[in-house]
Chains A and B, each alone.
Chain A
Amino acid sequence: MKNPTLKSENTVLSVENLCVDFEIKGKQVQILSDISFSLERGKTLGIIGESGCGKSMTALALMRMIPSPPGRISAGRVVLKGEDLAQASEKRIRDIRGGEISMIFQEPMTSLNPVFTIGNQIVEAIRRHKDIGKSEAWKEATDLLDIVHIPAPNRRVHEYPHQLSGGMRQRVMIAIALACEPTVLIADEPTTALDVTVQAQIFDLLNEIQKDRGTCIILITHDFGAVAEMADRVLVMYAGHKIEEGTLDEIIDSARHPYTQGLLRSMPEIKVDPGDIRESLAEIPGVVPDLLHLPEGCPFAPRCSFVMAQCQDLPHYMDLGDNRSVKCWLAQEDSRTKEQA
């Protein structure tokens, strides 16, 4: 199978045909099917989808942190700067974690160890990957707190997680993630647990760090607003499949997959004209299918309003050019004309 993602000089990370299987009740269930994407230096990729569609699993697969058993990477490659992480040794992958690829988690309230000071935790992250002395590491930890805009870092460094607010803790998480200057920063719903003003601050901070350091960011979210604010490219997932990929503008302005279109329609809009009659918000009928009983063919077919006979077969990636692809039979015509042209 040909690799649908084009590679350029600047590609830092490329994921090729990644598949992850889980063994559930003695049955092999594919929870990530044929995921491919690539990430360029200093760019942000947004991965968007409903709960349980495999967004977080994709992130964990990149760091080889899928709980095993029952899970395993059954096929595909994760190539970071020319090195295939899916085949790397256990020791090598531990050096990659936190060193080359860092992750920020969803719940800042619970992702810091409650019994150690935040300084202690940052120092530990630094000393895990860098060969420097304790006092130097403490200095660096204080500097990192300053970089993530925590006031009075000299004092805060000695505080415990419970003494900080949610936004502060997420900043500390970012500081820990940045401790070893990672190439790729995975942010798994970094603002879901925070209120809107703090969300905006965290996004500003991530953008600033990206500009200063050229870090690649993978932003995992269910919120199109967050993607619109951060992402250069967008990948839409559904039931473990990548169903559409393109630049932010392409996805927002000309989504091709009925699911992406449905997601965009279900965003509430603030109407300028107050006299407008309230419309009920559009929704996608149905729920995400149980991965144990996935329908044959396209997983979205049961909820799709454009369903046709062909949907009995799983569509392949329709290449629409410019690194844009859709996994839907509806796009077949366009893809064919492209090929002929």
Chain B
Amino acid sequence: MSEMIDQQDLAAQFGEKPEKPEKPWQATARMFYTNKAAVFGLIGFLIVILLGLFGPIIFGADPFDIAGKPLMEPQDANPLGTDYLGRDILSGVIYGARPTMIIAITATVCATVIGISIGAIAGFYGGKIDNFLMRFTEFFQVLPSLVFAMVIVAVFEPSFLIVVLAIGTTTWTPLARLARAEFLKIKEREFVLAARALGAQNIRLILRVILPNALPPLIIAITLRVGTTIIFEAALSFLGLTDPSIMTWGRMIGLSRDYFFEAWWTVTFPGLAILFTALFIALIGDGLNDAFNPKLRRR
């Protein structure tokens, strides 16, 4: 019975401690950590998160307070200068991290829930349900999502919740299409049939059997979506369509856009904050993409 003897059994026989087998997610994590760009992205992203969490406590200055003369160049008192009302840019950038990240993450979660639900149901059931849901998805796809989100915010008041919902309900379509494609592919696999032969019902097949197998590409898409959402939110803020009592990076750029040529620092620093955060997230997404790809995985 040659198949029964493998190296681990042999090792056990000779009294060696068998090496614990590596779980798939451990292999993925190992792959991720060997990717320098991905680790750089992760560290940068964590710094942004920490800045959002603790920055306001440490720096303390309210971004809406007048901290000096208007449009002051970067100097000792205001390291990144002041805007047209004399508000400190540095405290704006620090305070902006929290609402920017919260909006980006909650809106992405919202888009993910809508997108995956619709894509999973369409892909799993197929036929008329699929047809209907995909036409529905296309309806959202043909509308320019920024214009659609602007309409939603304009119709309702521009509060935090409305902004999140506006971004979530207009950006879920790529996730729905991806989830549908994955479900279409995986539902034909034999282990789905085997699970059905064991008495599993549809909801169980969707959530416990197919979804875990569809996750790797979805996780990458979701990660990259966080970056896109930050830019999307910045665009809405730039147009003044977000909650005026919250200082986000996009809002800072929007408010200072008239002073761009006189005071470059008013838009450059919040712009760099957006650029780097989106870049960090893109690097993480790229790293995950490689880490989930078994072809690139080597022992």
Contact = CB atoms under 8 A, between A and B. Distances in A.
A pairs with B: yes
B213 A198 contact: no
A103 interface: yes
Interface in A181-215: 197-198, 201
A163 interface: yes
Contacts of B132: none
Nearest to A168: B3
B144 interface: no
Given A113-B213, A116-B212, A160-B23, A98 B199 contact: yes
A51 interface: no
Given A159-B21, A198-B3, A107 B197 contact: no
Interface string A141-158: 000000001011001001
Interface in B121-158: 127
B195 interface: yes
Most buried by B among A115, A125, A151, A160: A115
A125 B213 contact: no
B201 A94 contact: yes
Contact of A97 (B127, B197, B213): B197
A337 B127 CA distance: 54
A105 interface: yes
Contacts of B196: 65, 97
Interface in A109-146: 110-116, 124-125, 128-129
Contacts of A107: 190
Chain B, interface size: which category? 20 to 34
B24 A102 contact: no
Contacts of A94: 199-201
Chain A, interface size: which category? 35 or more
5 nearest A-B pairs in the assembled complex, by CB-CB distance:
A98-B198, A97-B199, A98-B199, A110-B190, A111-B190
Interface of B: 1-4, 6, 8-9, 12, 18, 21, 23-24, 127, 189-191, 193-201, 208-209, 212-213
27 contacts: A65-B193, A95-B199, A97-B196, A98-B198, A99-B199, A102-B197, A103-B194, A103-B197, A105-B193, A105-B194, A105-B197, A106-B190, A110-B191, A112-B191, A113-B212, A113-B213, A115-B212, A116-B212, A125-B198, A149-B4, A151-B9, A155-B8, A160-B21, A160-B23, A167-B3, A176-B194, A197-B2
